[in-house]
Structure formats: structure tokens, C-alpha cells
Amino acid sequence: MRAGLAGWAFAAPALIIIGVFFFAPVLGAFAVSLTDFDLYALADLRNLRFVGLDNYLELLESRDFWRALGNTCYFVAAGVPLSIGASLAAALLVNSRLTRLPAFFRTVFFAPVVATLVAVALVWRYLLHTRYGLINWGLGGLGLSPIDWLGNPHWAMPAIILFAVWKNFGYNMIIFVAALQSIPGDLYEAAHLDGANGWQEFSRVTLPLLRPTTMLVGVLTVAGYFQLFAEPYVMTEGGPLQSTMSVLYLMYEQGFKWWNLGSASAIAFLLFLIVLAVTALELRLSRRREAA
């Protein structure tokens, strides 16, 4: 009994904080999303009206929401495979038997992950500068004409994707390195004795054994990339022509620029449901694959 009381007492501070500042607002968000909470309600709660699912229906009919969702899906669909590919390549290099100073390279590749997103996004905005940026200078060296990266609606999202890959590949690399190190060495020896070349070792031994890790990394990265916000906020302000407006950015503008907190809450919930659905789909696909 004494231990029971102590258990509650020990868990209480964290549970109270998580309950009051996370669970309560999450439930509250659903309630708010069913109202027309706006600037008038913010001033005087008597102006608040219950509107049922109107916020959701309005969003599903709004061009801005679909546009933002499309942009976000573009970012996820292109950014996730590129990021994971870069992570895996870096992990294979770092983990190679031939590599000297693996710890040094691992630290270097991880540096962008810990660097403050806003700060390095600013650096990249400058790297991508049409006239003075290093990237266009490099393209010029290859004989290519300069690209108006952040000013052209066709190039702004690819530029942000490039930046995101640079910023994040080190994170999954760490997870891949750990998985690679857990593959028993005698499997490679056996493959070697059977006359497998480097590529065959990779495709027949390494890749299949990495599948659970790749799946995990994929699910986490997809969920993370759906939260795109600070990159466009700093680099493009959602432009040009809304080509980098993400769902979370739309939520921020609706909520804290126009003070449509009802609509913003509905956006947050829709995004959550979409991520949940995509995650469930990924898990189901991976299970089916495993069964096959």
C-alpha cells in the first residue's frame, strides 16, 4: 500500500503536466474545431457558436487547403525516399570495413541534425540566392544557367526538399549504422565463400536484414515530414504563388494570423487523421510484404 501511494505521488507531477498541457488541449481542440472560434470570440466568449462539422466541410471545399495538402504530400513523397536513400548511403560508407575514422565522419554527418532549423534555413536561403548564392555559382561552373530557386514556383519546393535532405539525413544514418552493426559478420563470410560479389552481398544479405529498420525509419520520417513548417516560414513565407504553403503553415496562418482558431483546430485534426491513415497503410503494406 505504501508503495502504491508513493507510485502515484512520484508519477503525479509529470502526469498533471501532461494531462493539463497536452491531453486537455487535445480534447479541447476537437471541441474548438466544432465552433466558429474567431477574433470576436477571443474578445468575448458570448460570440462563440457551435457549428458542428462546418469547419471541416469548409476546409474540404477550400482550394487553399487542398493546395497546402498537395504541397505537403509532394514534400513527403519526394523528400522521404531521398532522405532515407541518403541516410542509407551515408551509413554504408561510415560502416564500411575500409573506412578510417568512422567516428569522425559520423559526427560530421550528424551536425546538421542538431543545428537549429531556423538558422540553417537562413543559411540555405542565402546559398540558394539567385545571384550571390554558392549553389548557382557551382551550377555556373558546370556550364548551367542560374536557377531562381526560391522565386520560381516550380523550383521552390525542390529547393526546400534539398535542404531537408541535407538537414535530416544524419538522423536516420545513426539508426541504420546501429542496424548494420547488428548483422552477424559470418553471414557476409558465408556469402563471400559462396562467391557473392559486393553488390550481391548488399542486395541479398544487407538489404533484407535491414528491412525492419527501413520500415521503422520510413514510418517515423513520413510522420515527421508531414509537419513541414519552419522551412517554408523562413525560406519562402509559403510562396511563391503559395507553392510551398504547407498544411501546418496554413494552420498557423489561420490560427495565429487571422485568429480563426476553430478552423485552425480543424486543420490540425485533419492533418493528424491523414498521418494516422498513412501510417496504418504503411504498416499494413509492410506486414503483407513480410507474409509474402
Restricting to residues 177-216, name those near another protein by CB under 8 A.
178, 198, 216
Determine the interface stretch with another protein among 6-14, 56-64, 65-73, 200-208 (rule: CB under 8 A): 6-14
The H or E element spanning position 115 is: none
Provide, rounded to whole angstroms, the least separation between the CB of residue 135 and another protein.
10
Q: Pick from 78, 175, 183, 278: which binds another protein (CB under 8 A)?
A: 175
- Told to check if 14 binds another protein by CB under 8 A, we report yes
Provide, rounded to whole angstroms, the least separation between the CB of residue 65 and another protein.
15
Closest CA to 272 of 247, 249, 253: 247
Report d(CA 219, CA 84) in Å as an integer. 11
The H or E element spanning position 273 is: helix 261-291
Report d(CA 175, CA 82) in Å as an integer. 16
Which residues in the 87-126 window bind another protein by CB under 8 A? 90, 93-94, 96, 98-100, 105, 107-112, 114-120, 122-126
Which residues in the 224-283 window bind another protein by CB under 8 A? 227, 229-230, 233-234, 237, 248, 251-252, 255-256, 261, 264-265, 268-269, 271-272, 275-276, 279
CB nearer another protein, residue 123 or residue 281: 123
Report d(CA 94, CA 178) in Å as an integer. 11
Provide, rounded to whole angstroms, the least separation between the CB of residue 178 and another protein.
6
- Told to check if 137 binds another protein by CB under 8 A, we report yes
Residue 80 has φ and ψ, to the nearest 5°, of -65, -50
Report d(CA 228, CA 247) in Å as an integer. 8
For 65, the grid coordinates are 487547403
Provide, rounded to whole angstroms, the least separation between the CB of residue 279 and another protein.
7
The H or E element spanning position 83 is: helix 63-95
CB nearer another protein, residue 205 or residue 217: 217
Report d(CA 260, CA 30) in Å as an integer. 14
Report d(CA 177, CA 195) in Å as an integer. 25
Query: Binding-site residue total for another protein (CB under 8 A)?
Result: 92
- Told to check if 75 binds another protein by CB under 8 A, we report no
Report d(CA 279, CA 265) in Å as an integer. 21
Q: Pick from 26, 43, 57, 277: which binds another protein (CB under 8 A)?
A: 26
CB nearer another protein, residue 74 or residue 171: 171
